[in-house]
């Protein structure tokens, strides 16, 4: 089965052709980083307009690189949430119109589930129960998947997502956007033990994440020590590099503290670490050490599959299509959609269950 995947949840317009859910024939990503860099973050209105301009040529390029014609495609999978509403609508409406015009099935995919499936291309088949840490600029969640297609949310961020915290701290330091890669680069030259930033404690005792306090601690440290942001064109000082290293170290320890605790209790067979922040080598190394100490296998997507891409959407879509699931023509974008432990999509806004149509 050839599935055309389409992803437009934020600021990447992506299309991919995937065969039988595991073989990538093509994966094309048009990034908007250079456009949004001048604003220090993604501007939703600009992002959606760029998707409108790019989606047709990106799909054409994906088909050409795969060496297939549009008529060879068996189904279309598209991200329908969560994400930016304008961006999502471009992808959903394009995919729906394409599938209807070709008379083939299409299916909406939860973006977070897509990240879960991003590991299927370069790793052995996922063993269940599996635990998945999904970490990106918009999401920081820890899931238990007791069996294929079922998800139990174990832990979530109470405020900033981890990737968002990286972006905000980089902006404070004058290092530019996106923050994750630039902080990681300068952290390599800094001392991760130079500054003892705190790990937040959740007052109600739930094993959730919080990065707002860490961000505030960086602000306080800069103010109390009279540290100015790096000016454009300047090399960061050793002090700034130490802040990068210490912040990164604390962020990684925050992510893995709850992961370690819950993995010991639930004993998954596989630990999945995915999402844009999974590109971070410090997180990868620490996750490998954690998995080794727990006696479990850890799966990462390759770095080009860690950030938003359409191959993971096609893989997740293939999984649901193989189970006979289809989306109805009234499918639309839902920025609040979340994964339900029954395998259904559930709107976080009104609690309305949105099962796949069979």
pLDDT in tens, 257-299: 999 999 999 999 999 999 999 999 999 999 999 999 999 999 9
Q: Is the pLDDT of residue 337 over 70?
A: yes
Upper half-sphere CA count for residue 218 (Cβ side, 13 Å): 29
Q: SS3 letters for 251-266?
A: HHHHHHHHHHHHHHHH
Nearest C-alpha neighbor of 7 from the set 306, 314, 332? 314
Question: What whole-number percentage of the chain has pLDDT above 70?
Answer: 95
Tokens of 150: 């079922």
pLDDT in tens, 185-207: 999 999 999 999 999 888 888 89
Residue 355's pLDDT band (boundaries 50, 70, 90)?
very low
- Taking a C-beta distance cutoff of 8 angstroms, is the pair 41, 167 a contact? yes
What is the structure's pLDDT at 354?
Answer: 46
Euclidean distance between CA atoms 262 and 138, whole angstroms: 22
- Taking a C-beta distance cutoff of 8 angstroms, is the pair 209, 258 a contact? yes
Upper half-sphere CA count for residue 356 (Cβ side, 13 Å): 24
Tokens of 318: 């293939």
Upper half-sphere CA count for residue 291 (Cβ side, 13 Å): 21
Q: Is the pLDDT of residue 102 over 70?
A: yes
pLDDT in tens, 217-240: 999 999 999 999 999 889 999 999
Q: From the CB of residue 208, how many other CB atoms can be counted at a distance below 10 Å?
A: 18
- Taking a C-beta distance cutoff of 8 angstroms, is the pair 105, 345 a contact? no
Residue 136: DSSP 8-state: S
Domains detected in the chain: 2-117+305-354 (3.30.420.40), 130-300 (3.30.420.40)
β-pair partners for 77: 5, 107
What integer best gives the mean pLDDT of the chain? 93
- Listed in order, strand segments (DSSP E) in 146-269 are 152-156
- Taking a C-beta distance cutoff of 8 angstroms, is the pair 172, 218 a contact? yes
Euclidean distance between CA atoms 198 and 37, whole angstroms: 29
pLDDT in tens, 24-45: 999 999 988 888 888 888 898 9
Higher pLDDT, 312 or 31: 312
- Taking a C-beta distance cutoff of 8 angstroms, is the pair 170, 37 a contact? no
What is the structure's pLDDT at 256?
Answer: 97
What is the structure's pLDDT at 38?
Answer: 83
């Amino acid at each position: 089965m050839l599935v055309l995947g389409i992803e437009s949840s934020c600021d990447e317009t992506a299309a991919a052709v995937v065969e039988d859910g595991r073989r990538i024939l093509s994966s094309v990503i048009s990034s908007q980083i250079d456009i949004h860099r001048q604003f220090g973050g993604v501007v939703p209105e600009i992002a959606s307009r760029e998707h409108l301009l790019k989606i047709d040529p990106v799909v054409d390029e994906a088909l050409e690189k795969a060496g297939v014609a549009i008529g060879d495609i068996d189904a279309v999978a598209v991200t329908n949430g969560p994400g930016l509403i304008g961006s999502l609508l471009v992808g959903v409406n394009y995919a729906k119109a394409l599938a209807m015009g070709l008379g083939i099935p299409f299916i909406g995919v939860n973006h977070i589930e897509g990240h879960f499936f991003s590991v299927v291309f370069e790793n052995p088949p996922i063993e269940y129960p599996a635990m998945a840490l999904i970490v990106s600029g918009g999401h920081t969640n820890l899931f238990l998947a007791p069996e294929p297609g079922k998800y139990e949310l174990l832990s979530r961020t109470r405020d900033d997502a981890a990737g968002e915290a990286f972006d905000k701290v980089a902006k404070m330091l004058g290092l530019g956007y996106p923050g994750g890669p630039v902080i990681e680069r300068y952290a390599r030259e800094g001392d991760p033990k130079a500054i003892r930033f705190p790990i937040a404690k959740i007052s109600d005792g739930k094993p959730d994440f919080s990065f707002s306090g860490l961000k505030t601690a960086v602000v306080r440290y800069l103010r109390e020590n009279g540290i100015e942001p790096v000016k454009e064109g300047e090399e960061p000082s050793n002090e700034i590099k130490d802040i990068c290293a210490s912040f990164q170290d604390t962020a990684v320890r925050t992510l893995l503290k709850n992961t370690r605790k819950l993995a010991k209790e639930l004993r998954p067979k596989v630990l999945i670490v995915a999402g844009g922040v999974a590109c971070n080598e410090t997180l990868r190394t620490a996750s490998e050490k954690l998995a080794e100490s727990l006696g479990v296998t850890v799966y990462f997507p390759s770095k080009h599959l860690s950030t938003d891409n359409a191959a993971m959407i096609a893989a997740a879509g293939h999984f649901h299509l193989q189970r006979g699931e289809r989306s109805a023509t009234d499918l639309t974008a839902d920025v609040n959609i979340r994964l339900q432990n029954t395998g259904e999509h559930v709107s976080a806004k009104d609690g309305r269950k949105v099962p796949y149509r069979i």
